[in-house]
Structure 1
Amino acid sequence: MYMITQPPEYRNFKFWPTTLPGFKEAVDEYSKEVEKVSVEICECLSRLMGLDKHGLKRLHGVMKQSMRLNYYPRCSRPDLVLGVSPHSDGGSITFLLQDDEITALQIKYKERWLPVKPIPNALVVNVGDALEAWSNGVYRSIEHRAVTNTKKERISIATFVLPDEEVQIGPVESMMVDRPRLYRNVKFLDYLKQCLDKKMDGKSHTSFLKLEKEL
């Protein structure tokens, strides 16, 4: 299930469940708390990127938030079936709330898939492609996937921080002082279309952003 959660005026309740008591209220409360965390992280990253405290938030235009609720049933052949194919997230930051009992998230590091063991009462925070472009590749989006298992069903909640569709994503000046420009400016909506065209094919869609094929 995928839905826009913030700002509230962007919500389309036509796509929200209507038969789950308390669902709307729970999503509203959770999305507000994640928004607080995302603002704090953006403020910290702004300073690290040589911007003022609110610089990264301004780059988003209207900072949007979407949420995807994932359900993974038990699978008799996890060696053949993935829960989610390898990809990186197109937005700026992703927060993942995992099931504490099952390790399913894996990240790609030096051509190896490494499991990300859940930490109780903690969120996984991933850098997305938009932040990679704004930071001129200093902060890289992570290629990740979800695997299945034979023992237990699993639920996860991914919350995405997104720039406004009309915003340009590309390196900020402060990230090109001691580093050549490696990314071009692209309207975020155009980049989203590229992401959808690639259909979760690793990080191949990020080539649309880059001035060079390899960094």
Structure 2
Amino acid sequence: MKAAMAAFFELPLMEKKKFAMGANDLEGYGQAYVVSEEQKLDWCDLVALKTLPLEQRNLNFWPLNLPGFKEAVEEYSIEVQKVAEEINANLSILMGMERDGLKRYQGELKQLMRMNYYPPCSSPDLVVGVSPHSDGGSLTVLLQDDDIIGLQIKHKGEWIPVKPIPNALVVNIGDAIEIMSNGVYKSIEHRAITNEKKARISAAAFAYVDDELEIGPLDSMVDDPHRPPMYKKIKYIYYIRQVLARKMDGKAHTDLVKIQT
């Protein structure tokens, strides 16, 4: 998977531009969360592809003439989805349901793969690789370089580096799980920083629910009066549209559906 990503980002710019994102599209090559001509862009190249389910793939965005790329992404996406499903099953038990509780509630998780390339930057203190945000889906499974620290999470107001563990995956809780767990499992605010001397690549597999699913606190996570519902119910497509309409600027999106007390 890492070799496939590296091969894509090493292509000439004009070749990569053949797979450029369209207006208001999540897929393709370019920059995410561009909502204003005035905003500063992240120090990052990316290509995003809908990988699962198979019928939702748009192969116009896939560099099919790049040897081994499609095969590597297909195999990795299937295997990493198994990881997400296993975590979901265990979360179901922790949330007071059977192992298939979340699967029955949210259906088969869909997957978007975002592959990132962070070039070296001579002034890493002046830019950010990916702006602070939390992920809007259920779970994110991240593959990162083994020897370059780039990911940071916000903890008690401080940015904490996530030191890579060789051959390991990083898992982020997304906003949808925070809402469904009634705030017990909180989505994590995170960002990516740049490196002065080394380029860095990563692949984030976003597992997310169906657009038409209404998400809200699950019955097993609500206990009136000790733990009343803390979030409103909302159709997922409406939630994610509001997230995508904003510039990435911290973890504020779940405030959209928090019940004010």
Q: Same fold (TM over 0.5)?
A: yes
Q: State the partner residue of 2:40.
A: none
Whose radius of gyration is greater, 1 or 2? Answer: 2
| Contact 2:179-2:254 within 8 A present in 1 as well | no
Q: Which amino acid aligns with 1:183?
A: Y
> Which residue of 238, 242, 245 maps to 1:194?
242
Query: What is the distance in 2 between the residues matched to 1:150 and 1:175?
Result: 45
| Contact 1:198-1:204 within 8 A present in 2 as well | no
CA positional deviation for 1:60: 2.0
| Contact 1:43-1:56 within 8 A present in 2 as well | yes
Kindly indicate whether residue 196 of structure 2 is the aligned counterpart of residue 150 of structure 1: yes
Q: Which amino acid aligns with 2:203?
A: I
Residue correspondence of structure 1 range 157-176 to structure 2 within 5 A: 157-176=203-222
Deviates more, 1:68-77 or 1:12-21: 12-21
User: Aligned to 2:129, what secondary structure does the other structure show?
Assistant: strand
> Which residue of 63, 76, 81 maps to 2:109?
63
Which whole-Å deviations, capped at 9, do the CAs of 1:53-75 have from their partners, x for residues lacking one?
A: 11111222342011000000000
CA positional deviation for 1:168: 0.9
Q: Which amino acid aligns with 2:205?
A: T
User: Aligned to 1:69, what secondary structure does the other structure show?
Assistant: strand
CA positional deviation for 1:160: 0.5
Q: Which amino acid aligns with 2:237?
A: L
Query: What is the distance in 1 between the residues matched to 2:58 and 2:88?
Result: 26
Query: What is the distance in 2 between the residues matched to 1:5 and 1:106?
Result: 26
| Contact 1:51-1:174 within 8 A present in 2 as well | yes
Query: What is the distance in 1 between the residues matched to 2:253 and 2:172?
Result: 17
User: Aligned to 1:82, what secondary structure does the other structure show?
Assistant: coil
Q: TM-score, normalised by structure 1?
A: 0.96
> Which residue of 1, 14, 24 maps to 2:70?
24
4+ runs deviating over 6 angstroms? none
Q: State the partner residue of 2:49.
A: 3
> Which residue of 168, 172, 192 maps to 1:126?
172
Which whole-Å deviations, capped at 9, do the CAs of 1:28-87 have from their partners, x for residues lacking one?
A: 100110111111111100011111211111222342011000000000111110000000
CA positional deviation for 1:169: 1.1
Deviates more, 1:58-67 or 1:25-34: 58-67
Higher relative contact order (CA 8 A, sep 6+): 1
Q: Which amino acid aligns with 1:104?
A: G
Q: State the partner residue of 2:251.
A: 203
Q: Which amino acid aligns with 1:103?
A: I
CA positional deviation for 1:148: 0.4
Q: Which amino acid aligns with 1:189?
A: I
Query: What is the distance in 2 between the residues matched to 1:66 and 1:35?
Result: 10
Q: TM-score, normalised by structure 2?
A: 0.80
Q: Which amino acid aligns with 1:167?
A: L
